[in-house]
Amino acid sequence: MIVAQTKEKLSAMKLSGMLGAFEQWQERGDRQLGPADLLGLLVDAEWTARENRRRTQRLREARFPVAATVEEIDFGHPRNLRKSQILDLISCEWIRLHQNLIITGATGLGKTYLPCALGEKACRDGFRVLYTRTPRLFGELYQAKADGTFARLLQRLAKTDLLIIDDLGCAPMEGVERHDLREILEDRYATRSTIITSQFDPKKWHSFIGDDTVADAVCDRLTHNAHRITLQGESIRKMRGMKTR
Residue 143: per-residue pLDDT: 97
Query: By residue range, what is the domain housing residue 100?
Result: 63-244
92 phi-psi bin (left φ>0, alpha ψ -120 to 50, beta other): left
State yes or no: pLDDT of 103 exceeds 60: yes
State yes or no: pLDDT of 239 exceeds 70: no
* Arithmetic mean of pLDDT, 188-208: 95
Q: Is the domain of 54 the same as that of 88?
A: no
Q: Is the domain of 97 the same as that of 196?
A: yes
Q: Which of 19, 45, 61 is the last residue of a domain?
A: 61
Residue 30: per-residue pLDDT: 67
Confidence band of 45 (pLDDT split at 50, 70, 90): confident
CATH of the domain at 207: 3.40.50.300
Q: Is the domain of 39 the same as that of 85?
A: no
Q: What CA dihedral angle connects 138, 144, 146 and 148, to 10 degrees?
A: -160
* Arithmetic mean of pLDDT, 197-209: 95
pLDDT, averaged across the chain: 88
Q: Which pTM value belongs to this model?
A: 0.84
Residue 55: per-residue pLDDT: 87
Count of the separate structural domains present in the chain: 2
State yes or no: pLDDT of 121 exceeds 80: yes
Pairing of strands 226-230, 162-166: unpaired
